[in-house]
Amino acid sequence: MRPKARDAEFEDFVRRRRSHLLGTAVVLTAGDHHLAEDLVQGVLVRLYLAWGRATRRGGIDAYARRALVNAFIDHRRRPSVARETVTADLPDRPARLTTAAFAEEAVDAELLGALRALPERMRAAVVLRHVTDLSVEDVADALGCSPGTVKSQTARGLAKLRELLPQAAPIPAAPYEGDQS
């Protein structure tokens, strides 16, 4: 593929899908907009470098989604993250970033707090399955695990969210009970 054609295809993809990736990253990071921006930027760089492979396989969205989940999970493994300390009060508050995916629909701060309590892979399974509405198979592909693992991680994650958010609107029972997907 010619470099100009490749660049045009990549630019078109970024224009169409960046806000969706950013919205997913915001929920994956439990509302950390700055980290979400960083993760999406890194994913777009990786995607650009692997554009030929991703387009040959025909799964650009799947590649980007998997790269985003991997970047999110790997973020905690970075030594710089382990040295950071969390404080209750910040010296100043940054302006809330809005994206096309989340501009019209605010994500509940209480829910984001409860999502923070879940381990990263469990949170990723719940978010990809119930926020981005992916099938069990697509989530399994994004996480690099079996569909059974997705189902168990999602069920455990929803159970933990029910414990943490008892007064909130009921979280539906796992949608795959009796469902083969």
116-126: b (≥16 Cβ within 10 Å) or e: eebebbbbbbb
Q: 49-87 pLDDT, tens per residue?
A: 988 888 877 688 888 989 999 999 888 776 655 445 566
What's the rounded Cα separation, in Å, for the pair 31 and 102?
11
Confidence of residue 3 (pLDDT cuts 50, 70, 90): confident
DSSP secondary structure code for residue 7 in this structure:
H
| Mean pLDDT of the 97-109 span | 49
Q: 117-142 pLDDT, tens per residue?
A: 899 899 999 999 988 888 899 899 88
What's the rounded Cα separation, in Å, for the pair 107 and 97?
12
Instruction: Look at the pTM and tell me if it is higher than 0.85.
Output: no
Number of Cβ within a 10 Å radius of residue 9? 14
